[in-house]
Amino acid sequence: MGQKLGRQSFRFNKPPVIAAAANIVGPMEGEGPLAAQFDWILDDILFGEPTWERAESKMLRESAKLALRKINWQPREIDFFLAGDLLDQIISANFAARGLEVPFLGLFGACSTFSEAIMVGSMLIDGGFAARVLVASGSHHNTVERQFRFPIEQGVQRPPYAQWTVTGSGALALADQGEGPVVTMGTAGKVVDLGISDPNNMGAAMAPAAADTLISHFQDTGTAPEDYDLILTGDLGTVGSEALKELMRMRGYLLEGNYRDCGMLIYDLARQDVHAGGSGCGCSSVVFTGSILNQLREGRCRKVLLASTGALLSPTSSQQGETIPGIAHAVVVEG
């Protein structure tokens, strides 16, 4: 059984093992700097389906199945499937689970869903409620644009601080034993809102939540930024990352050479037309299950603090003038 640390954090007594991981990305992500780290790069953004929504769900399902195939697990051997996405009523995750016949818990943490799923999955395993848990989260650029912003073919100019929703899905298989990187600690985030209301500036809306979770994590666990080889936020982009560094500096924590943001890693910001970087449920899931996990396995990196970040807005709340609350959940993965 795990141990609660401070107000929001916990240490796993028997750290769950990341037995396998898999990811699928869209064509644009496949042209980015991390292309070699992805399992499956789609050349068709519809993934052979009639709608973008179905394509998103298929990515989630196929990435989960691919993770299982890598270690020869059958769906019937899985105790829980935890997944989420950005669409209304998390249809992509629900529909992906429909075909798997596995006990399913749908999660919504907007783009923080991936670390939320790893955290909850690890709790289930360390708490003795499961031996094998499958987690996944994904997003599709076109489904998210049409739900939250404008139709794809609409001729609009995106502001220079807007972010580009990642098309992709990443899945992890967690186990109570075996070989591989382990999840050692977690910190559940609080909902934080510093009054940003521009839905194009989500990095700025989420940065205060990321700062809150990271600082709580350091305080609760008695660690410091320099204890980690890599501190990784989900999708703050250039604006949110700068804001996070400044918020942390004001509280006496310096994020320097070991800090990265998945949204800035996944695309070549100078060459690809993504403005402030990537975002979406798929952003941290494909970056983590690809490049970061490879670094952990190869020993190039030993201790990673992953804090996926979510902007908890809806089109209705934005139109009604509500500000955008943010959330970030952190997990520590050690190689």
Partner 1 sequence: MNEKTGSSEQQLEMAEYQELINTVRPRHTYLKNAILAFLVGGSICLIGQFILQIYTVQGLEQQQAQAATSATMVFLGAFLTGIGVYDQIGKYGGAGSIVPITGFANSIVAPAMEARREGFVFGIGARMFTIAGPVLVYGFLISALIGISYFLLR
What residue type is assigned to position 152 of the chain? Answer: I
Q: How many residues bind partner 1 (CB under 8 A)?
A: 30
State yes or no: residue 35 binds partner 1 (CB under 8 A).
no
Kindly report the length of the chain: 335
> In 3D, which of 315, 326, 308, 296 has the Cα closest to residue 137?
308
Render 19-57 in DSSP notation, one character per residue: EEEEEEE-TTGGGSTTGGG-SEE-SSTTTTSSSHHHHHH
Inter-residue contact 172 to 21 (CB < 8 Å)? yes
Judged by CB, which is closer to partner 1: 129, or 150?
150
Element (H, E) at 69: helix 52-70
| Binding segment (CB under 8 A) for partner 1, from list 22-30, 119-127, 153-161, 179-187 | 153-161
The reply on whether position 129 binds partner 1 by CB under 8 A is no
- Contact of 236 with 207, CB cutoff 8 Å: yes
Which residue number, 239 or 307, has a Cβ lying nearer to partner 1?
A: 239
Q: Which residue's CB is nearer to partner 1, number 147 or number 223?
A: 147
Q: State the Cα–Cα distance between residues 111 and 283, nearest whole angstrom.
A: 8
- 252 makes contact with partner 1 (CB under 8 A): no
Binding pattern to partner 1, positions 57-76, x when CB under 8 A? --------------------
Site membership for partner 1, residue 239 (CB under 8 A): yes
How far is it between the farthest Cα atoms of the chain? 54
Using CB under 8 A as the binding rule, whether residue 156 contacts partner 1 is answered as: yes
- Minimum CB–partner distance for residue 44 and partner 1 (Å): 15
Question: Looking at 174-182, 239-247, 252-260, 285-293, which segment touches partner 1 (CB under 8 A)?
Answer: 239-247
Binding site for partner 1 (CB under 8 A): 50-51, 146, 150-161, 193-196, 201, 204, 208, 238-239, 242-243, 246-247, 276, 323
